Amino acid sequence: MRVVILYSELAEYSISCFRALSNEAEILLVHWPVNPEAPFKFDLSFCESFSRETLSGGELRKLVSDFDPDIILCSGWMDKEYVKTCKSLKSKAVTILSMDNHWFGTFKQQVARIVSRFTIRRAFDFAFVPGLVQKHYAMKLGYKSEEVKTGFYAADLSRFDAFRKAISMNRSSLPKRFLYLGRYVDHKGVFDLWNAFKRIRIDAPEWELWCVGTGEAYDRRVESEGIKHFGFVQPSELEPILAGSSVYILPSHFEPWGVSVQEMAAVGFPMILSDEIGSREAFLKEGENGYVFQSANVAELEKSMRNFITMNDSEISAMGQVSLDNAHSITPTTWSETLLSFHGLKEKMQK
């Protein structure tokens, strides 16, 4: 099987899925440049890869056509040359649209829904999406239920399983620390988190908040007693930070999915998530392994954090076990299997 992947910004979890796919298929990868706010170092030795910025539209189409793919996977429809490439080869290859958008019924989305049969549907046979909220949008674009598969985002579980095993061997009690992993931008809710923690700290001075990441709001970060900022950290260097934490918080005002939720579930962390986190549908059971609060509601976030500061280690660990049980429902291997299954699906539907 020969697979072309036309991707936007790469991430460690996407690379783990592509690597799993390389065990079953030959891969040609085209991707956007690495985001300077998250300068991850990727090993792409398992496939042939090109940076999108080095290719004109014509060069892109020739590159893909010469590869003679059985499947083309395209991340979204923002890159018009990606879409043109899929449309030009749709009769020869199975073309798959990936998307993590939520349906809000906005004017722009209503227009997309109306024109989809002339644009999106002419370029893509199927849709591969993270979860049910994205499947709802794909069906609004004209895809039938059987033409949409879920499970598009999958964490690099081997890495985080290894972290969990190493951590469990080297600590006898749970550290009283909340953890945030993500970019420092306003819509991630980081200022809500820092304000809520400052209130918590008054009554629970033994608790700390560790924050990992960087971004445009980094210079405006809140410096306060108990809050520690690590800046950008490569995934391979996360172990000591994870070992020093016990509860994960993602307070985003909007998060289409949020792979870090699955990553932290694999480490065995209970969690606090805003109600705008897409992946909570798969990895959070309210009251069993964490709590959901209303996005941008600092008082609700504070209340959720206070739930944890009143727990003992065994109660927090029990919640973490539920997270761990949920974490392996989507894996790089299932991602690869799902992607390849579209090829047989097209053959079946053409009969």
Examine the domain organization and report whether 220 and 84 are in the same domain: no
Q: DSSP label at 162?
A: H
Examine the domain organization and report whether 95 and 180 are in the same domain: no
CB distance 296 to 191 below 8 Å = no
| pTM greater than the 0.75 cutoff | yes
Examine the domain organization and report whether 342 and 270 are in the same domain: no
Tally of domains in the chain: 2
Examine the domain organization and report whether 139 and 170 are in the same domain: no
Examine the domain organization and report whether 31 and 76 are in the same domain: yes
- Per the structure, the complete domain to which residue 211 belongs is given by 157-327
CATH, residue 69: 3.40.50.2000
Cβ neighbours of 333 (radius 10 Å):
16
pLDDT, tens digit, 9 for 90 and up, residues 195-254: 999 999 999 999 999 999 999 999 999 999 999 999 999 888 999 999 999 999 999 999
Of the two residues 351 and 82, the one the predictor is more confident about is 82
Buried-state track 58-96, b at ≥16 Cβ within 10 A, e below 16: eebbebbeebebbbbbbbebebebbbebbbebbeebbbb
Surface-to-core class of residue 267, CB atoms within 10 Å of its CB (0-12 exposed, 13-18 middle, 19+ buried): buried
pLDDT, tens digit, 9 for 90 and up, residues 57-112: 999 999 999 999 999 999 999 999 999 999 999 999 999 999 999 999 999 999 99
Share the mean pLDDT of the chain.
95
CA distance 83 to 27: 19
Handedness of CA 210, 216, 218, 222 (dihedral sign): negative
Examine the domain organization and report whether 91 and 182 are in the same domain: no
Examine the domain organization and report whether 337 and 244 are in the same domain: no
Examine the domain organization and report whether 148 and 18 are in the same domain: yes
Examine the domain organization and report whether 150 and 289 are in the same domain: no
pLDDT, tens digit, 9 for 90 and up, residues 101-148: 999 999 999 999 999 999 999 999 999 999 999 999 999 999 999 999
Examine the domain organization and report whether 219 and 135 are in the same domain: no
